[in-house]
Amino acid sequence: MTDEPPYDAIRRDGVLRVTRPGTEWLSTGWGGGRERADCAYNVSVPDDWERTDLERYVDERLERAEFVADGERPVLLTGVDVEDARGARCGPVSAYATAGISNPAALPADPDGEPDAEGVSLPETPSSPEPGTVNVVVGTTRSLAPGALANLIAVAAETKAATLLAETGFPGTTTDAVVAGHDPSGTPVDFSGSATEVGAAARACVREAVRASLRAHYADYESSLPESADDASYGVSTDVRAAVVEPSLEEVPDER
């Protein structure tokens, strides 16, 4: 166990705030990217939510919840009530998740149909989250190299997918997002793969947080987990086959 302060979280008025001063975050969500901030947020939106002025909406929600956030800060949006948010801690890592599967994104390993090099036609992507979404905020007290912070996103997403497959049969939803954070003043770490201290702890934390949130969300929910994408309210399935290609082989010129 680490003696360093963890990433603390509180819920207030539909907003989850994850705090550690001086954190550098990398977000895959709305307005994402890399930024320094003391806090990251996960904001629940109502079922009939249709706002498109996201920055103004987020400011309103944080102000209503009496969270003061100056400047840039990573924010995720979810249709899951943050009352169902759950967290986990392991060594130098903390993770918090909200999980709902009303909009699953199925990925059959052996889809029907012929290979299609032109791709697949998709419906217009909604600007707001469907009433599902699996959002993860994961942070470490270590100082990660730039590539290691980016890889922590991959570790969290991989763990999220593996956990959801085990619990629901789906690897994710159409609106999932991850925010990863590290302490630039912490002990330097060059790697965050699954065999490293940070990576192994992140996998444990994300697994437990996603599983606990999923179970909390459906404990008193009016509907059960969908059995297939067709059974879900907003499900999709990637049934198209991509055309497999082999890279060209070039001989190295003999300059002798």
Q: What is the pLDDT of residues 25-84, one digit of tens each?
A: 999 999 999 999 999 999 999 877 888 888 999 999 999 999 976 667 999 999 999 999
Nearest to 181 by CA among 128, 140, 229: 140
Res 255: pLDDT:
74
Nearest to 206 by CA among 148, 159, 145, 243: 159
Contacts of 64 (CB under 8 A, 6+ apart): 13
Res 112: pLDDT:
75
> What is the CATH number for 99?
3.60.70
**Single-letter amino acid, residue 168:** T
The mean pLDDT value of the chain amounts to 87
195-238 pLDDT, tens digit each: 999 999 999 999 999 999 999 998 865 556 666 666 666 667 78
What is the number of domains present in the chain? 1
Q: Does residue 169 lie within any of the structural domains?
A: yes
The tokens for 52 are 């498109």
Instruction: Tell me how far the alpha carbon of residue 63 is from its chain's centroid.
Output: 24
With a cut of 50, say whether residue 2 has pLDDT above it: no
The span from the CA of 93 to the CA of 43, in Å, is 22
Q: Does residue 79 lie within any of the structural domains?
A: yes
Q: Does residue 179 lie within any of the structural domains?
A: yes
Q: Does residue 180 lie within any of the structural domains?
A: yes
Res 225: pLDDT:
67
Instruction: Tell me how far the alpha carbon of residue 72 is from its chain's centroid.
Output: 19
Q: Does residue 141 lie within any of the structural domains?
A: yes
With a cut of 70, say whether residue 128 has pLDDT above it: no
Q: Does residue 215 lie within any of the structural domains?
A: yes
Please give the sequence-ordered ranges of beta strands (E in DSSP) within 162-229, or none if there are none. 177-182, 188-189
Q: Does residue 245 lie within any of the structural domains?
A: no
Q: Does residue 242 lie within any of the structural domains?
A: no
- C-alpha triplet 252, 254, 256: angle, nearest 5°: 145
Q: What pairs with residue 178 in β-bridges?
A: 136
> Containing domain of residue 82, as a range?
8-116+127-237
Instruction: Tell me how far the alpha carbon of residue 89 is from its chain's centroid.
Output: 17
The pTM of the full predicted model, rounded to 2 decimals, is: 0.87
Res 240: pLDDT:
83
